[in-house]
């Protein structure tokens, strides 16, 4: 018996006696990089069936097969919390996605605001960061990273019942306020560097779903603000309680 | 009159009618990169006198002089909070220092734990990240980044009156507890990837100054944990209240 050194997300159902074929990249990682051999153990999760201990059944350079042994963790779904953020420089955008997955956001939505510099994001590339973060943090769920959408369009179709925590950097120095616990769905909105436009700010503040959150007396970078807002939300309303 | 496009930390006293000579790097940045000209405005802070509006008096390629006009912000000192962290990969260590400055730590102490991989950190290089973060976040104070010290030595001489918030990743799933507000000095300790050793954990838990903090059901990376712990502390006991 070996201790599992690797924790892997697989896009394949897991269950008792289940056989899991590996993709080329995964086989390369497990057998080329991590040097696993038949009989070695791996932890797997598929985002739907919790975490499973599996053993290597076949190991090849470009393919391989794992065999599920038993469940090691039940599925833990994050709270129904979306993170909306305006993409910034590439490294910091990657960072926000990684942090959102670690912190337990259920869905990640890049939004284009009036002052967003970035015109495009590659959702598939960002999705990989979310997978890696989930593998690393011991979670059993991977948040979906959506394609970028314009903030005004997203607001126009905003769900009636979803609260929006609007992190408005113009409210520097205001008192922090998180509303009382509720089982309603939520979203957190983090602005771009340069902040929101006056039009956006006015529109957001006029939405009945909006709660404004101040993040202290200093102006935080977008990536810092994302972690800070997720922390406050998770500890007040989420699965850190 | 021009709007100040630049915010700069200077290691020189500021005050009414004060003249501030520029270092070579600063002159290059202001006049070479940002293309400021005599008469243009700059915001300055020295970590002790708040923020001042200054104008360019002399602009050269390798030197220059600024002239203080009037104070634009009073000095805002952060709470008496230290951040202790075990250095990790370079980019993430830089990140922790940047975040600690943004989040309002007063002093940043890299510590070497039993499982710390990094043997050396360059405190002078990290100090620059703290300065940049202070310039960017609108703060009027720059936390000092200390040279790395061994955690066991630091604990041996730990100040009697300084509370220690010990972020123990082994307490996954435990209930979050921050003790009641107090004016006592505090420190937050973030562990390395790989966590603390059993000996360290036992010793830390036995200190009367220690309060254990859990950061939710997922295992956070050290840089995420630093921002999350600083957020909880600042909102419960610090200057976000």
Kindly state the average pLDDT of the residues A183-199: 89
**In this structure, are residues B136 and B97 in contact, taking their beta carbons and an 8 Å threshold?**
no
Single out the residue of A2, A232, A7 nearest to residue A139, CA to CA: A7
Mean pLDDT of chain A: 91
The SS3 of residue B17 is coil
**What integer pLDDT is reported at residue A177 of this predicted model?**
63
**What integer pLDDT is reported at residue A3 of this predicted model?**
73
Q: Which chain A residues are closer than 8 Å to B96 by Cβ?
A: none
Kindly state the average pLDDT of the residues A56-69: 95
**What integer pLDDT is reported at residue A195 of this predicted model?**
86
Q: Which chain B residues are closer than 8 Å to A234 by Cβ?
A: 216
Fold of A7-73: Ribosomal Protein L25; Chain P (2.40.240)
**What integer pLDDT is reported at residue A174 of this predicted model?**
57
Question: Any bridge partners for residue B58, and if so which?
Answer: B65
Considering only A38-42, A210-214, B156-160, which range has the smallest mean pLDDT? A210-214
Kindly state the average pLDDT of the residues A158-187: 78
Question: Residue A173: is its pLDDT beyond 70?
Answer: no
Question: Residue A56: is its pLDDT beyond 60?
Answer: yes
* Euclidean distance between CA atoms B202 and B187, whole angstroms: 18
Residues of chain B with pLDDT under 70: 1-2, 118-119, 170-182
Sorting pLDDT into bands at 50, 70 and 90, what band is A169?
confident
Question: Residue A176: is its pLDDT beyond 80?
Answer: no
Interchain contact, A227 vs B232, CB within 8 Å: no
Q: What share of chain A in percent tops pLDDT 90? A: 76
Q: Which residues of A touch B (CB under 8 A)?
A: 76, 95, 98-99, 102-104, 136-139, 172, 175-176, 214-221, 224, 227-228, 231-232, 234-235, 239-241
Sorting pLDDT into bands at 50, 70 and 90, what band is A172?
low
Q: Which residues of B touch A (CB under 8 A)?
A: 76, 95, 98-99, 102-104, 136-139, 172, 175-176, 214-221, 224, 227-228, 231-232, 234-235, 238-241
Interchain contact, A221 vs B176, CB within 8 Å: no
Nearest chain A residue to B193 by CA distance is: A136
Highest mean pLDDT pick, A9-23, A85-99, B158-172: A9-23
For chain A, report the end-to-end CA distance as a whole number of angstroms.
36
* Euclidean distance between CA atoms B19 and B39, whole angstroms: 14
Question: Residue A1: is its pLDDT beyond 70?
Answer: no
A interface test, pick of B143, B227, B229 with most A CB neighbours within 10 Å: B227
Kindly state the average pLDDT of the residues A55-76: 95
Question: Residue A119: is its pLDDT beyond 80?
Answer: no
**In this structure, are residues B139 and B130 in contact, taking their beta carbons and an 8 Å threshold?**
no
A interface test, pick of B90, B133, B134, B231 with most A CB neighbours within 10 Å: B231
**What integer pLDDT is reported at residue B178 of this predicted model?**
66
Considering only A39-53, A69-83, B41-55, B166-180, which range has the smallest mean pLDDT? B166-180
How confident is the model over A106-117, as pLDDT tens digits? 999 999 999 887
* Euclidean distance between CA atoms B130 and A234, whole angstroms: 28
Q: Which CATH superfamily, name and number, covers A81-237? A: SPOUT methyltransferase, trefoil knot domain (3.40.1280.10)
* Euclidean distance between CA atoms A152 and A156, whole angstroms: 6
Helix H, strand E, coil C: the string for B25-47 is HHHHHHHHHCCCCCCCEEEEECC
* Euclidean distance between CA atoms B201 and B220, whole angstroms: 18
* Euclidean distance between CA atoms B81 and B39, whole angstroms: 39
**What integer pLDDT is reported at residue B171 of this predicted model?**
65
Nearest-CB residue to A240 (from B137, B216, B227): B216
Kindly state the average pLDDT of the residues A183-204: 90
DSSP secondary structure code for residue A30 in this structure:
I
Q: Domains of chain B: which residue ranges? A: 7-73, 81-237
The SS3 of residue A8 is strand
Sorting pLDDT into bands at 50, 70 and 90, what band is A180?
low
For chain B, report the end-to-end CA distance as a whole number of angstroms.
36
């Amino acid at each position: 018996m070996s201790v599992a050194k690797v924790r892997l997300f697989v896009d394949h159902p897991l269950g008792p006696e289940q056989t899991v074929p590996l993709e080329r990249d995964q086989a390369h990682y497990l057998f080329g990089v991590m040097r696993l051999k038949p009989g070695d153990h791996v932890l797997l999760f598929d985002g739907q069936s919790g975490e499973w201990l599996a053993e290597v059944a076949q190991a090849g350079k470009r393919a391989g097969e794992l065999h599920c042994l038993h469940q090691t963790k039940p599925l833990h779904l994050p709270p129904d919390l979306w993170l909306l953020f305006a993409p910034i420089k590439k490294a910091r955008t990657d960072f926000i996605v990684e942090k959102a997955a670690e912190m337990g956001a259920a869905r990640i939505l890049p939004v284009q605001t009036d002052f967003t510099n970035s015109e495009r994001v590659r959702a598939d590339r960002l999705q990989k960061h979310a997978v890696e973060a989930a593998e690393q943090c011991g979670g059993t769920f991977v948040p979906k990273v959506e394609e970028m959408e314009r903030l005004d369009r997203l607001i126009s179709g905003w769900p009636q019942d979803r609260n929006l925590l609007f992190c408005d950097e113009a409210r520097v120095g205001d008192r922090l306020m998180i509303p009382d616990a509720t089982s309603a769905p939520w979203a957190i909105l983090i602005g771009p560097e340069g902040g929101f436009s006056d039009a956006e700010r006015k529109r957001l503040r006029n939405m009945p779903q909006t709660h404004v959150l101040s993040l202290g007396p200093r102006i935080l970078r977008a990536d810092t603000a994302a972690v800070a807002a997720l922390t406050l939300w998770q500890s007040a309303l989420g699965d850190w309680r």
